[in-house]
Amino acid sequence: MPTTKSTVNKIATVIIPVSDQDRQIDFYVGKLGFTKRVDIPFGDKYRWVEVGIGEESTTIALAPPPENVPTGNRETGISLQTDDIDSYHAALKAAGVDVDEAVSRMGGPVPPMFWLRDPEGNTLMVVQ
């Protein structure tokens, strides 16, 4: 551990580079239940968009990529938590979200889980 007085104290924002911010906002807000927290212009032609869940302080930024950097089909490393994984999985499936066919149950210390994919093919894990 560094011996400085400065340390980080939370994960503020995780960033997913996306090509269609409006489509992604519709998905994260309309299908996953997030709230749009920030939507502001920056630079000459960009928007900074953040979505979040409830009162949680960590947000996901749905950001434009750097020039000539492809978007989509990324393993985001983001894990979402739910108290009722079977109901959430069924609700997402009924809403047309690209989810794994079934909830995975490995037993032991591994929680029940499934993966979902956003409209650009970026994957997120859901755990109970």
Residue 57's CATH number: 3.10.180.10
Determine, yes or no, domain membership for 5: no
How many C-beta neighbours within 10 Å does residue 89 have? 23
Determine, yes or no, domain membership for 3: no
State the pLDDT at residue 65. Answer: 92
Mean pLDDT computed over every residue of the chain: 95
102: left (phi over 0), alpha (psi -120 to 50) or beta: beta
Provide the residue range defining the domain that includes 38. 13-127
pLDDT surpassing 80 at residue 3: no
What's the number of domains the chain is made of? 1
Residue 66 is encoded by which pair of tokens? 């750097």
pLDDT surpassing 90 at residue 32: yes
Determine, yes or no, domain membership for 35: yes
Closest CA to 124 of 2, 19, 27, 5: 27
